[in-house]
Amino acid sequence: MKLRMQSVAVGFAFVALGAAVGAQVDPRFAKELVVDSPGSKDLLIPRYASSFVLAQVTKDFDELSLPLGKATGTSFSSDAGKKLRYENSRAIEGRVIRTIYIVPEGRSTLEVVRNYSSALEAKGAKALFQCGRLECGEEFHKLHAGGGRVITPEPGAVTRERRSLASNALEYVDPAGDQRLWVGQWTRPGQGDLYVTVYAATQTGGSLGDVSAALKGRVLAMVEVLETKAMETNLTFLSSDEMGSTLSKTGRVALYGITFDFDQADIRSESDKQLQEMAALLKANTATSVFIVGHTDNKGALAYNLDLSQRRAEAVAKALTTRFAIAATRMTARGVGPLSPVSPNDGESNQAKNRRVELVKQ
């Protein structure tokens, strides 16, 4: 079989899509199927030729449940022993990139999955599990492409139409007719292991109005790539003395030990140690007032990142007030989004340096 993989998709002419999706499709939805989602890119492995990224999410460190068996149980059962689950699976930790692609018209799920698996196996990857149609399980798509795996872009990051398309991309699938899965592992000497899942299915439409009309009959591919690596611990913690010394010298200090849930302002529990040290610094220097400044990388819309960084800065100030009795009048929260980077936003490692909270002496 001739492979159709490429590193960067070549755009279709928009007029060609009109015939493919039919005149009944709202143009606002149709145009989202012929351009990549803002800020998305091909990472680690190439895409199927002429596909477009409907949605993408990257997590620097997360856990991925790797399916190594069919889906058993049912999504409707409340009985713990009968709930929908993988017959066999493995939990893998590392950097996760999850992408949903819109595949060109006329391609089958078998062709799409076979192209990915053939390209990866040619590089030395080995298959861990694969299945097709009901071999995967009747409700496999609800387990594998729903729940915690569904991609729902944040409001403002993309258009309302793209957000609706991405959120319901694999909601309606005919398991007996057309679904395929390939799971593989690629061991790269000196670079860590790469785990890949490729799931492709044809959307049957459903009852979602314009969303269903735009997606009906389209082959969608959800590609997950997990790159194993140790969770970065450098630059993640500063003592109160270290913060105080840096503030005295430069008037500001960058903190990487305050982390948040992905695209949220909820502070993770592992940030407690850094919060305690921030509180100790402020309690030891009662005459000092500070700006708490939230920073992001440049992925996503500017307005969204400004709002996210503001909410995160406010969350830190609130935590210091409610949990450590630091007077709110001593802290001013501000979010500047990607407007004050410390590193170019040209790669994940540099982007990680820009995602930070800073204390700035008033």
pLDDT digits (tens, 9 = 90+) for 229-264: 644 444 568 899 999 999 999 999 999 989 887 778
User: Does residue 35 belong to any structural domain of this protein?
Assistant: yes
User: Does residue 235 belong to any structural domain of this protein?
Assistant: no
pLDDT at position 12 is 37
Q: Is the pLDDT of residue 271 over 50?
A: yes
Statement to judge: residues 206 and 129 lie in one domain: yes
Q: What's the pLDDT tens digit per position in 45-75?
A: 889 999 999 999 988 778 899 999 999 999 8
Residue 142: Cβ within 10 Å count: 20
Average pLDDT over residues 23-51: 89
Nearest alpha carbon to residue 104 among 25, 218, 185: 218
Q: Please indicate whether residue 346 or residue 6 has the higher confidence score (pLDDT).
A: 346
Q: Is the pLDDT of residue 335 over 60?
A: yes
Nearest alpha carbon to residue 173 among 131, 196, 143: 143
Average pLDDT over residues 270-298: 94
Q: Please indicate whether residue 299 or residue 127 has the higher confidence score (pLDDT).
A: 127
pLDDT band at 146 (very low <50, low <70, confident <90, very high): confident
Statement to judge: residues 265 and 167 lie in one domain: no
pLDDT at position 259 is 87
Mean pLDDT of the chain: 88
Average pLDDT over residues 176-194: 89
User: Domain residues for 282?
Assistant: 240-361
Statement to judge: residues 268 and 164 lie in one domain: no
Average pLDDT over residues 186-200: 88
CB 218 within 8 A of CB 108: no
pLDDT at position 300 is 81
Statement to judge: residues 33 and 167 lie in one domain: yes
pLDDT at position 81 is 78
Statement to judge: residues 49 and 177 lie in one domain: yes
Q: Looking at the 3D structure of the chain, how many domains does it have?
A: 2
User: Does residue 50 belong to any structural domain of this protein?
Assistant: yes
pLDDT at position 157 is 85
Q: Is the pLDDT of residue 7 over 70?
A: no
pLDDT at position 220 is 96
pLDDT at position 56 is 94
CATH of the domain at 308: 3.30.1330.60
Statement to judge: residues 54 and 114 lie in one domain: yes
Q: What's the pLDDT tens digit per position in 285-332?
A: 999 999 999 999 998 889 989 999 999 999 999 999 999 999 999 999
pLDDT at position 133 is 96
User: Does residue 291 belong to any structural domain of this protein?
Assistant: yes
User: Does residue 232 belong to any structural domain of this protein?
Assistant: no
